[in-house]
């Protein structure tokens, strides 16, 4: 994970959803909720040794984060997915970082006025 | 600028298949800008159910889904003949070349990686839908052409024997067959219906229609070919276009059937009438005339002789020529009637057919 990457790239959201603020808020709310649930599922699966399920959840986080412009979360989810697939021990620590990064993404979206804290 | 795909026609319909609601929301928003109606499914089995319930013009398909995944769903779609031409656009966060290639080989029309550019998605979706609509139009045109061809073939069968129609359809331009031995039947009413005071024109046509329809059924049952009708006359041939050894026998049996059928039908008239039938055998020329309105016909001495024997025959009876008598000797009862001079045939001895042995 690179600290140079933005937590949130608002341009990506606008590129996908246009300038309709209500639609953006609806999308961000749905996407963030999914990202948080998937991140939690990924951690649980990784800690339980179910790396296949952890990899699938990390993959889903990656896709949803990409749509949200959550570049740091996307990059972390990608690394977690690869580690799960490769059966690497660091997959647990990478997965464990996902909820925190998801929270950071929510905070950044909140600052854009797109969702609650 | 991607053109809307629903201008001046029914809106296109797309099915977005993705387990994440946020992804479905994004796809729906992008496609809605094209005027596309969007339905959603959260996994493969639900997608297949939706596809079987109504027609779609495009499927956006995610790969990683719980339950039936994208690849399995794609294979099921391509295995269904009804969905063979349905465009499937894979939208996935997987960007490894092998997996993309595998999807395309399995029948995906296109592949977009997440995060996708909305304009690119719209452009590819629009192109896929247009291609599908062109294919649909092409298929409809081919179906219409096939139906028209079938209709034309059916019309041809209404006026020509099946084997002759088949030869025309195979491209034979000129159909002229020399038939060594055939038997021609000529039948006409002894008292023509037109001009009779008690018979209206509608009644006369109705009577002939009823009579000739009956003769057609009887001829078909005996395997004898109806050649044509004109005025109150009916002409048929045995032994052409399909050669048969018992052509005289088949035509004689038909003549007896026709007399029996006509007797019942014509007895209902205010002024009773009957049918005179002449039969003659020998070599004929058979062929098709007409360039746009085809007609199968036979020519030759037996046609002239059968016509003469009917016109100079006995009401309600069947008069046959000497040549036909020779062919019927062992199968039918015949009584000598006399002899006539027939132009082109000379002196013809005639017999009356009274039944089958």
Predicted confidence (pLDDT) per residue in B111-136, tens digit: 998 888 888 999 999 999 999 999 88
Average per-residue pLDDT for chain B: 90
DSSP 8-state code for residue B329? T
Nearest neighbour of A15 by CB, restricted to B64, B93, B118: B118
Please, how many CA atoms are within 13 Å of residue B346, restricted to the half-sphere of its CB?
2
pTM for the model? 0.61
- The least confident of B129-133, B159-163, B211-215, B253-257 is B159-163
Predicted confidence at residue B303, as pLDDT, reads 96
Among chain B residues, CA nearest to A71 = B115
State mean pLDDT over B205-216: 92
Question: What are the CA-CA distances from residue B12 to residues B3, B49, B123 (Å)?
Answer: 13, 19, 14
**B201: pLDDT strictly greater than 90:** no
State mean pLDDT over B185-195: 82
Nearest neighbour of B29 by CB, restricted to A23, A31, A69: A23
Tokens 């089995």 belong to B45
Q: Report the C-alpha dihedral over residues B91, B95, B98, B104, rounded to 10 degrees.
A: 20
Instruction: Give ipTM to 2 decimals.
Output: 0.87
Asked whether the beta carbons of residue A63 and residue B21 sit closer than 8 angstroms, the reply is no
Task: List the pLDDT tens digit at each of the 117 positions of chain A.
Answer: 556 788 999 998 998 888 888 889 999 999 999 999 999 999 999 999 999 999 999 999 999 999 899 999 999 999 999 999 998 889 999 999 999 999 999 999 999 999 888
A59 touches chain B (CB under 8 A): yes
| CA-based torsion, A102, A103, A106, A108: positive or negative | negative
**B177: pLDDT strictly greater than 90:** yes
Mutate to test the interface with B, among A19, A67, A73 (most CBs of B within 10 A): A67
A37 touches chain B (CB under 8 A): no
Asked whether the beta carbons of residue A30 and residue B22 sit closer than 8 angstroms, the reply is yes
Q: How far is B91 from chain A (nearest CA, A)?
A: 10
Of A39, A51, A36, nearest in space to A90 by CA:
A51
Beta-bridge partner residues of B251: none
Instruction: Give burial (CB, 10 Å; 0-12/13-18/19+) of B304.
Output: middle
Residues of chain A contacting B25 with CB distance shorter than 8 Å: 26-27, 30-31
Among chain A residues, CA nearest to B69 = A56
């Amino acid at each position: 994970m690179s600290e140079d990457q933005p937590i949130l790239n608002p341009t990506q959201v606008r590129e996908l959803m246009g300038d309709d603020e209500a639609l953006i808020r609806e999308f961000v709310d749905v996407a963030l909720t999914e990202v948080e649930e998937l991140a939690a599922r990924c951690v649980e699966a990784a800690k339980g040794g179910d790396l296949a399920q952890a990899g699938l959840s990390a993959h889903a986080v990656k896709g949803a984060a990409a749509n949200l412009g959550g570049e740091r979360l996307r990059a972390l989810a990608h690394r977690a997915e690869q580690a799960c697939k490769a059966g690497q021990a660091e997959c647990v620590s990478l997965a464990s970082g996902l909820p925190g990064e998801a929270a950071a993404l929510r905070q950044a979206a909140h600052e854009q006025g797109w969702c609650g804290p | 600028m991607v053109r809307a795909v629903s201008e001046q026609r029914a809106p296109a319909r797309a099915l977005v298949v993705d387990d994440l609601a946020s992804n479905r929301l994004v796809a729906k928003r992008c496609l809605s800008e094209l005027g596309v109606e969007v339905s959603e499914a959260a996994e493969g089995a639900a997608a297949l159910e939706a596809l079987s319930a109504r027609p779609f013009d495009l499927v956006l398909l995610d790969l990683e889904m719980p339950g039936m995944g994208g690849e399995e769903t794609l294979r099921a779609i391509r295995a269904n003949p009804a969905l063979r031409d349905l465009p499937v656009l894979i939208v996935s966060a997987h960007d490894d070349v092998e997996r993309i290639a595998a999807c395309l080989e399995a029948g995906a029309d296109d592949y977009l990686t997440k995060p996708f550019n909305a304009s690119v998605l719209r452009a590819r979706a629009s192109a896929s839908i247009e291609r599908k609509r062109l294919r649909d139009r092409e298929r409809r045109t081919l179906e219409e052409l096939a139906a028209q061809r079938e209709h034309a073939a059916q019309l041809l069968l209404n006026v020509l024997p099946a084997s002759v129609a088949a030869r025309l359809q195979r491209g034979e331009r000129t159909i002229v067959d020399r038939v060594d031995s055939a038997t021609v039947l000529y039948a006409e009413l002894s008292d023509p219906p037109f001009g009779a005071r008690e018979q209206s024109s509608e009644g006369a046509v109705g009577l002939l229609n009823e009579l000739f329809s009956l003769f057609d059924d009887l001829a078909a049952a005996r395997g004898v070919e109806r050649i044509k009708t004109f005025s109150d006359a009916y002409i048929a041939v045995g032994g052409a276009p399909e050669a048969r050894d018992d052509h005289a026998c088949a035509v004689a049996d038909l003549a007896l059937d026709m007399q029996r059928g006509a007797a019942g039908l014509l007895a209902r008239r205010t002024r009773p009438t009957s049918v005179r039938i002449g039969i003659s055998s020998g070599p004929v020329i058979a062929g098709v005339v007409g360039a746009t309105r085809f007609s199968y016909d036979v020519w030759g001495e037996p046609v002239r002789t059968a016509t003469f024997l009917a016109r100079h025959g006995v009401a309600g009876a069947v008069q046959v020529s000497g040549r036909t008598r020779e062919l019927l000797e062992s199968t039918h009862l015949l009584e000598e009637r006399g002899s006539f001079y027939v132009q082109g045939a000379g002196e013809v001895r005639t017999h009356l057919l009274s039944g089958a042995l």
